[in-house]
A and B are shown apart, each in its own frame.
Chain A
Amino acid sequence: MNNSHEGLEQGLLRLCNTRLRPKAPITAETGLLEQGLLDSLLVMDLVNSIEKQFGISIENAEISPRNFRTVRALAVLVASRLNGRKVSAELGNP
Chain B
Amino acid sequence: MLWPLKRPAVPVKEIPTWSLYYLTACPTPADPTIIWGSDVPVAGLEAYLRRVNAEADVLISPAHVLVRAVGRCLAEHPEFNRRVLRRRLYDFQSVNVIMPMLGSGRGPEVCLFCDVDRKTVAEIAAEVWKQARELAKGTSEWLRYERLFRSIPRVLRGMAMRHLLLHTNWVNWPAALWGHRQLRAAAMINYLGHRGAPPMRMFKPSRFPVDACTLNVTMGPTESDTQAAPLFVRADHRVVDAYQLGQFVAALRLYLTEPELLDPAPVAAEAAPA
Contact = CB atoms under 8 A, between A and B. Distances in A.
A52 to B, nearest CB: 10
Contacts of B132: 40, 44
B256 to A, nearest CB: 15
Interface of A is mostly: helix
B194 A39 contact: yes
Contact of A48 (B61, B136, B195): B136
Contact of B59 (A34, A36, A37, A63): A63
A14 interface: no
B62 A65 contact: no
Given A33-B53, A39-B62, A41-B102, A60 B130 contact: yes
B129 A39 contact: no
Interface string A37-53: 11111111001100000
B194 A41 contact: yes
Given A42-B194, A43-B59, A65-B60, 20 more contacts: A33-B53, A33-B59, A36-B46, A37-B195, A38-B59, A39-B61, A40-B128, A41-B102, A44-B102, A44-B132, A44-B133, A44-B136, A60-B126, A60-B130, A63-B58, A63-B59, A63-B129, A64-B58, A65-B53, A66-B57
Interface of A: 20-21, 33-34, 36-44, 47-48, 60-61, 63-66, 68
Interface of B: 46, 49-50, 53-54, 56-64, 101-102, 126, 128-130, 132-133, 136, 191, 193-196
